[in-house]
Structure 1
C-alpha cells in the first residue's frame, strides 16, 4: 500500500511539472514566434525540443527521487550486488544518441534554410558604427543613417529631469527606421566601420555580427506588416546600449513609394551640397578606390 502511495505521489509530481511548464508557454513566457518563416521554424523546433527534454527531465528526476525515497536506508533495503550490466550500458548510450539524431534532422534543415541567401529580391548593406547604423539599399542607391531618436537621447542624459517611464519605446526608437516590404526575400550584407557590432531583431529570428573587414550574410522574408525592434547585441563601447534597431515592414506598394520619396530627397540634398564638400567626397572616394585597387 505504501509503495502504491509513493508511486501516486511521484506521478503527481510529474504531472505538476508538465502542467507548470506548458502553463508558462500559455501566458507567453517563451521566446517570440517571430514574423518570418525562419523565425517560426525556429520557434516550433524550440518548442518540440523543449517538450522532449522536459519529459526526459521529469522521467529522470522522478525515477531518481523515487529511488532515493523508496530505497532509503531507514527502510532496511538491501543494495544490489552487481558491478555492471552490458545491456544497461548499451541501452543508456543508444537511447540518447537516437534522441539526438532525431532532433538533429529538423535542426539541420532549419540551419540550411538560414544560410540560403540566394534568390533575394532586395539587397541591403548594413554597416555598424559607434553608435549608429547605416543602411544602403543597393538596387535603388538609397542610403540612410539610423541613430537613437532625440527624445530617448535627451531622457538618458544625467540630470535631464525627464522621467524615462514617460518616454514611449525608451531606448528602442530611432530617427530613421529601416523600411522593408512584406512577402519579399531580402538579403543583408553586414559589416562594420570600426569595432564589432551585432545586428539583432528578435522577431526576425536571427542575429549576425558586423565585423570590420568582413561581410556576413543573412536573409529575411517578413510576412506581417508592423514595427519590430532590436538592439546591438555585441558590447561595442560606452554607448553600446544606445544604438537600437527599428524595422518597419510595409506593403510592397508603400515600400516603393518610400524608396521613391527617399531617392528624390537624397538627390535634392546632394544638389544642395556645397561644391567644395562634393569635391572632398569625390577625392575621398578616389583615394579609397586607389587603396583597394
Structure 2
C-alpha cells in the first residue's frame, strides 16, 4: 500500500511539472510563442530544455528520496563501504555527455538560424540614442526618430496611466509581413539593446560597431518592446513599437512617408527666409523642449544637480553669447549626455527651442533666434571643418 501511494505521489508531481509551463504561459510567466518562425523555434527549444531538466530532476530526486526512505537507519540499514567503482564513474560521465549532446544539437540549429541574415528583402538601420531610436530604410530615402509618446502627466501620476504606459511612441517602425527584414544596429552614445519579445530579437547597439539581426513576421499587428540595456537616466523611457502591415498597406505607408519627408524638406527650406514672431517661436520651442529636453533638464528648466545642468538662470541661456547656446544644441557637448541635435531637429525647431530657453522661467533675455541663424551657424561649422581637413 505504501509503495502504491508513493507511485501515485510521483505521478502527481510529474503531472504538475509538465502542466506548469502551460499554466505559466497563460499567466505571462513563460516565454511567448511570438509571431515569427524563429520565435517559435526559440520557444520550442526552451520547452525542450525545460522538459529535459524536469526529467533529470525527476530521476535524481526520485533516486535520492527512494534511497533515503529505503535505506534509513531505523530499518537497520548499514552503509556500504566501497571506493572507486569504475562502472559508476563511467555511467555518471557518459550519461551527462549524452544529455548535453542531445541538448546542444537543437540549440545549435536554432542559434545558427537566428544569426542568418542572408537573402533579406528589406534592410533597416537602427541607431540607439539617449533616449530614442532612429530608423533608416536602406534604398528608400526614409528615416525618422521614434520617441516615447507617454505624456509627462502620466509619468508624474497626475493623469491615469494608459493601456500602453511607457510602451507607446510617436513614430513606430513600420514593416511588411512575410518579408525577411535585416536589421543593422549601432549606437550614437552608449550601449543600448533593441528587444522585441514577439520576434525573439534582442541585440545590443554598440557605438562604433554594427550588430545584425533579422525577423520575418507572420501576422499583421502592433508589437512592443523596450531597450533592455541600462543606458542611463531615461532607460525606462525608451520603448519600441513595430507596426506590421500587409504588403499593400506597407507600400502605401512608404509612399506617404516619402511625401511627408519631401514636404518637411520644403517647409524647412521656406523657414530659412521666414522671420517668425517671438510668440510663435516660444510656442514651437516649448513643444520641442517638452519632447526632447525636459527628460534631462526638467520641465521647469532646473535640471538635475550633479547630472544635468539647469537652464533657468544659467549663464549660457541668459548673459552668454547666443552662438555658444546654439552650439550646445547643434554640436552637443563632448563627454556628456548632451548629444548633437543637428540631424534630429530642423533649423526652425532648433531656433525655436533656443529662443524658448532664453525667454522662459524668468530668463527673459528678449533674444529671438531664427532658422536662418541656425543655418548660418551650421554653414560656418562646415567651412571650419573643411579648412581643417585641408
TM > 0.5: yes
1:12 aligns with 2:8: yes
For residue 270 of structure 1, give the secondary structure of its aligned residue in structure 2: helix
**1:3-50, CA deviations, whole angstroms, 9 ceiling, x for partnerless residues?**
x624x3443333222222232233324210111111111111111111
Which position in structure 1 is the counterpart of 2:124?
124
Which position in structure 1 is the counterpart of 2:33?
33
Which position in structure 1 is the counterpart of 2:158?
161
For residue 54 of structure 2, give the secondary structure of its aligned residue in structure 1: helix
**1:23-172 equivalences in 2 (<5 Å):** 23-27=19-23, 28=25, 29-151=29-151, 153-157=152-156, 160-164=157-161, 167-172=162-167
Following the alignment from structure 1 to structure 2, what is the Cα–Cα distance between the partners of residues 268 and 68? 79
1:243 aligns with 2:235: no
When residues 23 and 289 of structure 1 are mapped into structure 2, their CA distance, relative to the original with a 3 A threshold, is farther
Q: Is the 8 A contact 1:36 1:220 kept in 2?
A: yes
Following the alignment from structure 2 to structure 1, what is the Cα–Cα distance between the partners of residues 218 and 388? 42
When residues 58 and 132 of structure 1 are mapped into structure 2, their CA distance, relative to the original with a 3 A threshold, is same
Which ranges in structure 1 are unaligned for 5 or more consecutive residues? none
Displacement of 1:133 in angstroms is 0.6
Structure number with bigger Rg: 2
**1:59-103, CA deviations, whole angstroms, 9 ceiling, x for partnerless residues?**
111111121122111221011122131011101110110111121
Aligned residues: 284
For residue 23 of structure 1, give the secondary structure of its aligned residue in structure 2: helix
Displacement of 1:234 in angstroms is 0.3
**1:205-220 equivalences in 2 (<5 Å):** 205-220=200-215
Q: Which has the higher contact order (CA 8 A, sep 6+)?
A: 1
Following the alignment from structure 1 to structure 2, what is the Cα–Cα distance between the partners of residues 93 and 291? 67
Following the alignment from structure 2 to structure 1, what is the Cα–Cα distance between the partners of residues 14 and 220? 35
- Could you tell which deviates more after superposition, 21-30 or 68-77? 21-30
Q: Is the 8 A contact 2:33 2:39 kept in 1?
A: yes
For residue 63 of structure 1, give the secondary structure of its aligned residue in structure 2: helix
Displacement of 1:154 in angstroms is 2.7
Following the alignment from structure 2 to structure 1, what is the Cα–Cα distance between the partners of residues 93 and 386? 59
Which position in structure 1 is the counterpart of 2:366?
none
Following the alignment from structure 2 to structure 1, what is the Cα–Cα distance between the partners of residues 92 and 81? 20
Displacement of 1:265 in angstroms is 0.3
- Could you tell which deviates more after superposition, 208-217 or 78-87? 78-87
When residues 281 and 259 of structure 1 are mapped into structure 2, their CA distance, relative to the original with a 3 A threshold, is farther
Following the alignment from structure 1 to structure 2, what is the Cα–Cα distance between the partners of residues 230 and 52? 30
Q: Is the 8 A contact 1:227 1:248 kept in 2?
A: yes
TM-score, with length taken from structure 2:
0.68
Structure 1 or 2: larger strand share? 1
Displacement of 1:117 in angstroms is 0.6
When residues 126 and 170 of structure 1 are mapped into structure 2, their CA distance, relative to the original with a 3 A threshold, is same
Which position in structure 2 is the counterpart of 1:179?
174
Q: Is the 8 A contact 1:125 1:138 kept in 2?
A: yes
TM-score, with length taken from structure 1:
0.90
